[in-house]
Structure 1
Amino acid sequence: MQGPDNMSISPTLMWTLLAAVILVCQARLNTQLDSKTGKRCMGNLMRLSLDKALAVGNQLEVEAINGSQRVLLTPALAAQCGYSMESDPWGNTRIYTSLLGCYVHNTDTMFHVGLKLDMFNLTSPEIVSHNVQKTCSYSRWAQREVLCDRNYMEVSQLLSEPDSPTDPKAPKDSSVKDDPQMNALPGVTDILHPEPITMVQREAEQAGYGAQTTAQRLVIRSPYHRPETYSEEVAGIPMEVLRVSVYYSAPAGLSVIDLSAACPIGYLVAHAPLTHPLVDNSARLTELYLGMNGQRLDQSLLSVRGYSLTTRDFNIVVDIPLGAPDGYYKSHAPEQQYHVTFSVEPMLEVLWKASNGQETRYKVLFPITTPLMARPPQAYDQTVAESRVFSLLAGTFLQDVELKNITFLSGTFSVEECVKRGFKVLHQDHPNGTRSFSVQLGFDEDVVRRRNPERLVTLYSLPLTLGFMILPELSPFSLSVELVASLYDVVHPSLSGDCDQEMFDITVAYGNQGSNFETFETRVGSVTLTAENAGQYYFRENATHFAISVPYSALNTAFEMLTSDSVRARLDVLLWDPTNKWPVGDLSLICYFPLITIQCFPNGSVSAVALKLESVPKLQLDRLRLRDRSCRPLLTSERSVLFSFTVDSCGTSRKFVDNYVVYENEISLDHRGWGNPTTDPEYRQHVSCYYKVDRSVVVGFGLGPSSTPVAEVGNGQMAVHMTILVLWPEDFPLPKFLQEPVFVDVSLLSSDPRLELILQDCWATNSPDRSSVPRWDLIVDTCANPEDLYLTELLPVLSDVRGRLPAHIKRFVIKMFTFTQESIPSDQIHIHCDTVICNTNDRTDGACKGQCQTFPVVFHQVCTHCRRDFGPLLHTDLL
């Protein structure tokens, strides 16, 4: 046996099969080859089947065994020598060998096929080899045999014995001697296309054709789409045709044999012409068989599998239903759109008998693949809202489709990453060869969008894109879907509140819309609560609640009503959803807080506090006056004023009621010189002081000169009192913000008009001990400390509402500050003073020359964030 002379072909053209890359463990090839291969003789073919378990992840090389030689079968050499291979996407492989192939040991009735299989993995240097040997017996040769395989056409002709020139089966003009050199076929070949092209055997083999003889047959083989072949339409079926005349020398002289082969090409319906260019019109059809994958099927199998084989007009018609068990579906994704095809390889075998008795056997192995059939992926939303879990079912697909990743709004995650995040991603293979995928994840995952179309309704939406991959081609496609579910599950925050003597205490329970106070806007009065200002409201929180405490005197409360001993204040708290523009909770808390607005002193002095009430929002407090319009407020802030006067001044009237003498005045708005009055209600606040009259005394008096009293020198004790001036009575410590004014009043507890109080030195410490450190001087040698950045200001005292003598009183104001030790601020300061009491008639003592004077300051505001505790000044941070 000899093959073509050009069998030495570049290794780069190796005939290999790279099997489908399917996620299955690699087979142990050296132990499974025998059990995973199948060898079967099928007429003039031998089929070798390899199970997909062998091919998964491996590369296969096939060599033909030619005696002691091994010939690597490249695709070109395989078509030239009668070998073909077919593999489905899952790695199931079939190798067909023509019994008339180049490297088959041939005795015309017994045929021995030898193949060597080399399997290796690209990631491993190990190569597993296996020799396959199979002997087939085939004696039913027709005088002419035509074989149409997937990659070649083959035609063989029986050669007549020389002593039987009249043999009806002998070809015309043939005379062949039983000469061993016949196998060498040293003659000349004419290939008609349509004009003859003359080649010697070597030239024909170099052109890709196969030409050989056996003991009894002449064989010609051609790959498809050669320059010397041509197309011809027969009964509407396109055929590729090869016509060859072989000339050779025989003992009787030069002889010629005409050979031809015609095979269907490029046709998607299993039709074959009933009449054929290989036979004349007188030939009749004597045998007709249908098979699959090279193997004949009997009539019972044809019926069970739904196949039919009929003759119709000029055609042989094969009907094969889609999804037939001998075929397979395959996925495709042109332009990332999911499609499928169905492929099947029917075998048609026909025997014609001509009128002269010559038989022609025609066998076609014709793979058929349907056009692309669109199968748009379907997504089924199986979400049950009450379970709070999104559930998506996608499918169905073929089992060569894998889910590779899922894209959410926040990014793309592989299936493994999704599983690590707690998502449930599964696939299910069905008995009919399809596959579906399911994805489940909870409503609370961060990839889920939420919004509230109504106050109590949450709309959950999950946009996602499933990224698929088709194996082994690694062709991608995707399916985008948005799942939507709604629930009446909104639990809004709840608000509750209470009051103590100074504070509104507000508590907010978060609900289920967020566990952070910044989930919604919290509006405390007219101020929005933020991380920056939360400290002003003594903010505290935990996982379920947050709470604030707001002084009733804070600017964001509302004063509704004022009595002589209390004020009715209101705090409005609103929780606002800025996204949906609606309120999610609110509370208006109204409480009475103790406040002495009028104080009547035994010495006839009166102090009265006026507040800006909500009912007169445009009230200008600095325009408030007593009946005597020249009597202005002593102290003014943004929301309150303090009047101080005596009962015999500022237009105060007097009347007697039973055993009481009643002094009355009124605080009202001075409209003089202020243009048009506002539309606000008229502001009037009545001030009354009741003094009980429990006895009447008749006093006589006379006029006369008085002698000058003489002071007697002696020893004794005198008391000095220091207080912090506030708008209303307070306890210590007093909370103060940094740089907030602190008014200090130092008075001598004496009624002797000849005495004067002088502040010698004043300083501050962070403890009650006057000698402790650190220490900061406020007044030094009767004057403000010149080294203080915020200079202490000494205030003039012209009169006193309590009836004290101005010389007995010293007042000054400082800016609140704090000590810092090791970068940690102290939260308290204590003020200490050394005083000198002087005789106004004797200024010889240097300290009695008078208090050092500074420029007067205008009082603008008093503390509005005060707590009543005993103790020192308490520093309060703004943040």
Structure 2
Amino acid sequence: RVTPLQDGSVKILEMYMGINGQRLDRRQMAARGYALSATDFHIVVEIPVGSPDGYNKSHAPDYQYHITYTVEPMLEVMWRAERSHEDTRYKILFPITTPLMPRPPQAVDCKSKERLFGIHVGTFLDDVELKNITFSTGTSTLEECVAKGFIVQEHRHPGGLKSFSLKVPFVATEVLKHPLVTTYTLALVFGFLIHPEETAFAHPVEFTASLQDVVLPTIKGTCDQHLFYIEVTFGNQGKNFETLIEYKPLTPELEQEFRLQENETHLTLVVPFTAKQTAFEVEARLDILLWEMTNNWMLADFFLSCNFPLRTTSKKLCYPNGTITALAAKVESVPNLIPGWLTLKDKSCKPFFSDDRFAYFSFGVDSCGTTRTLHPSLLHRQTVSCYYMINDTRTVKFGYKSHSTYPSAEIGIGQLDVQMRLAQDSSYSYFYQAEDYPVVTYLRQPLYFEVALTRSNDPSLELILESCWATAYEDSSSQPSWDVIVNTCENKEDSHVTLFHPVTADARVNIPSHFKRFSINMFTFTKDDHTNVSSLGFRLGTDSSLIASAVMVPLGKHSETTVTVSTMFSG
């Protein structure tokens, strides 16, 4: 509102408005929505905020995004004073800026089936620049975001406005994964700059995405006389895992050897039972793990045990030229066995070929301590005819006696559950629970173990602890190792031998033969007179029915050590 410069009565003769010093006619004013009017005391110019004749500017007071609108109207007036009858022409340029107007950015998560966050943030004036993005893992420039595989884009809109978008895959380390692989959270802060003042401000956002009805991958397998056949179904999350055999990833060479085939939904493997990745006990076993590498999740585990004939590639044991061949395989329950040291009954008959898993023998039928047995199928029917020089007919009884046979027990295959627990003392009345681990003890202090055959009421069964050894690492086949139990007995070479404790029936023990108890003194492996990180690995039973490990942390200058006992069942 413009007040005339003199007192007294005046008569307005002409009145015009304009922008930036340029007069506008009434048609131009109407098109822009401008209005020019006069009251008894003021001349009023009305201009809508946001008119194209002005301009917007970004500001960041208190680190928050605001804008202002600035316009420079012109007023041109000619009036006549009633007393002097003099005409006066008046022209004024008057820049106007609005107060700060808050414009908090809006962030929207564009839902996608591509397993990623698609975030759109805006809108901003053209003088705003996206400078960096802060994730839970730290602040990254836009170039660093692109290098990580994220997609950062700037979008232009009418009216000189802009917005920004960001796409981050669910598998990125910046995304927090929740249990059960169903919920993902992305928290971040967009960092902006306002030009030309280089004023900084930020906008934090957080989004959560849930995937319903997640189907994890599954594994199944079969065997024939020579091969394992494994099929992996990916589930509805795609192939977001790595396939491990015997806890080791598949290399390109193994993929070719195992005839790996893969499509969008399945993966198949064909593995020979003689492959290095298989394990032998009473049966040959192949262990498969599906491992999600980003979060270290085990999505599925599977083992397949099959009975394979341990024969040579020609599938023959006996040949027409009088030669016999045999193949012996190293089994897991005897980890220290060296196949090249095996012999036949005749100690001079050694393997024709051997490696770290097999020993191949070839020998004659009349050598190496062989014995001969007449097979019943080779017996010939014998007909006996009798002639008597008498003139008479007589009927006689003919009979035969068979050799008596002794009853024999057939080998059975089934599932038995075995449990190993660590007792708190020699009474075996109280045991450490899962929440008690890790358990702290001292060197040479006894550890009391109880192994039990559970969920079996057969009194004719007895649990046998065949062998037990310790290794310096969690891999039970690693070196160095030390025997704790040898052929069901203590190790005579150990200065602190394993002690076996009797088991009697009580309220908890119904069948004592289903239980075995023993104790060992806590020890650690040493190397060059320095204490080394070590672990205890146990294998109990002849069918790999139980594997247990105890992990000890470095002792340093103290004599106490942490022991963790866990069990894994198979067979």
Which structure has the larger Rg? 1
Q: TM-score, normalised by structure 2?
A: 0.45
Q: TM-score, normalised by structure 1?
A: 0.31
